[in-house]
């Protein structure tokens, strides 16, 4: 398996930011401080610490800190193993090529980032929840993960060939601002794929699904998750999220994205929205 550095945090002074990186190569294993070649200026870097976050994102981060320990398992149980197929479909939709750079925003434990890395592209994940990042570092130490807010990403303009966000855009306080920020770090002609829960297209199926979401899912979460209450919030946020057309319009209206289209997975439980950077 390819070994890549884990970026643990960003430190240094405002004028000379540094990244603390865990090198996982056998012969050089250990912590090192390097100039963050991919990272942007100090103004952006100031945004990545948890202390600087607005109240609401901080609460979101705390909620995910609470589910981090058993996140991967809970996900697979609650989705009846469908999550693996959704991640593979996300990778395919991004059309990644070896040598390209892809950013996975809201990467959590890195489970989505790991799948992207299978394309041969350099995949890096960013997340607000230190608990999720720590769980990821433990489970998959070879996946590069760093602390970062979707609204103030710690990367220079046009750094990535592709960006993606799986099951996380829903949790970001300002969807439009996040879509704009994703556009900022993507090169012109680069690709966006949003993988998110959506609206099943068949009405009877949607009725059964909503029953599962609002009643059974929190009950199942109680027996699997380390913070079952978080799954009540998650179920409610899925129900309140715009449908396929609604998200498509949001992406289009955010500014940097063009040629927006979507594809339903599992009858529309999940939708993949694809767009190209103007």
Ligand X SMILES: C[S@@+](CC[C@H](N)C(=O)[O-])C[C@H]1O[C@@H](n2cnc3c(N)ncnc32)[C@H](O)[C@@H]1O
Q: How far apart are CA 130 and CA 48, in angstroms?
A: 11
CB of 103 to ligand X, least distance (A): 11
Q: Which is nearer to ligand X, 57 or 200 (CB)?
A: 57
CB of 148 or CB of 190, closer to ligand X:
148
**How many CA atoms, within 13 angstroms, populate the side-chain half-sphere of residue 196?**
32
Cα-to-chain-centroid distance, residue 39: 18
- Is residue 44 within 8 A of residue 152, CB to CB? The reply is yes
Rounded-to-integer distance, Cα 21 and Cα 146, Å? 9
CA–CA dist 126, 160 (Å, integer): 13
**Minimum CB distance to ligand X smaller for 107 or for 123:** 107
Nearer to ligand X, 21 or 116 (CB): 116
Interatomic CA distance for residues 114 and 132, integer angstroms: 14
3-state secondary structure of 44: helix
Q: How far is the CB of 43 from ligand X (least distance, A)?
A: 17
Do residues 216 and 208 make contact, with C-beta atoms less than 8 angstroms apart?
Answer: no
Residue 231 or residue 262: which is nearer to ligand X going by CB? 231
Q: Identify which of residues 23 and 49 has a Cβ nearer to ligand X in the complex.
A: 49
Token pair of 150, please? 């979707």
Least Å from the CB of residue 56 to ligand X: 9
Residue number of the CB closest to ligand X reads 108
Instruction: Compute the least distance from the CB of residue 99 to ligand X, in Å.
Output: 23
CB of 136 to ligand X, least distance (A): 9
Other residues' Cβ atoms within 10 Å of the Cβ of residue 56: 12
Distance in Å, CB of 204 to ligand X, minimum: 27
Give the residues lining the site for ligand X (CB under 6 A). Answer: 57, 60-61, 64, 75, 105-108, 111-112, 127-129, 132, 149-151, 166-168, 171-172
Nearer to ligand X (CB atom), residue 25 or residue 156 = 156
Least distance (Å) between residue 169 CB and ligand X: 8
* 128 in Cβ contact with 13 (< 8 Å): no
The rounded radius of gyration (Å) of the Cα atoms in the chain is 18
Is the separation of the CB atoms in 142 and 22 below 8 Å?
A: no
């Amino acid at each position: 398996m390819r070994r890549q550095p884990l970026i643990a945090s960003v430190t240094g002074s405002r004028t000379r930011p540094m990244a603390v990186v865990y090198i996982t190569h056998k012969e050089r294993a250990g912590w090192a401080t390097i100039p963050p070649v991919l990272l942007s200026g100090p103004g952006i870097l100031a945004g990545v610490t948890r202390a600087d976050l607005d109240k609401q994102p901080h609460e979101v981060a705390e909620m995910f800190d609470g589910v981090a320990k058993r996140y991967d398992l809970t996900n697979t149980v609650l989705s009846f193993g469908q999550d693996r197929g959704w991640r593979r479909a996300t990778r395919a939709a991004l059309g990644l090529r070896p040598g390209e750079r892809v950013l996975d925003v809201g990467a959590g434990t890195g489970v989505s980032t790991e799948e992207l890395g299978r394309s041969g592209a350099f995949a890096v994940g960013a997340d607000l929840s230190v608990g999720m990042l720590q769980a990821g570092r433990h489970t998959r130490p070879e996946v590069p993960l760093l602390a970062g807010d979707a609204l103030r990403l710690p990367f220079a303009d046009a750094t990535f060939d592709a960006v993606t966000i799986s099951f996380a855009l829903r949790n970001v306080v300002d969807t439009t601002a996040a879509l704009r920020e994703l556009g900022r770090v993507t090169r012109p002609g680069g690709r966006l794929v949003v993988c998110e829960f959506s609206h099943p297209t068949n009405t009877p199926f949607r009725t059964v699904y909503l029953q599962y979401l609002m009643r059974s899912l929190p009950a199942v979460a109680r027996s699997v998750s380390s913070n079952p209450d978080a799954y009540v919030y998650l179920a409610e946020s899925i129900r309140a999220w715009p449908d396929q057309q609604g998200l498509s319009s949001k992406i289009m209206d955010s500014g940097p994205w063009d040629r927006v289209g979507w594809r339903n997975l599992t009858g529309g439980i999940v939708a993949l929205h694809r767009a190209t950077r103007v």
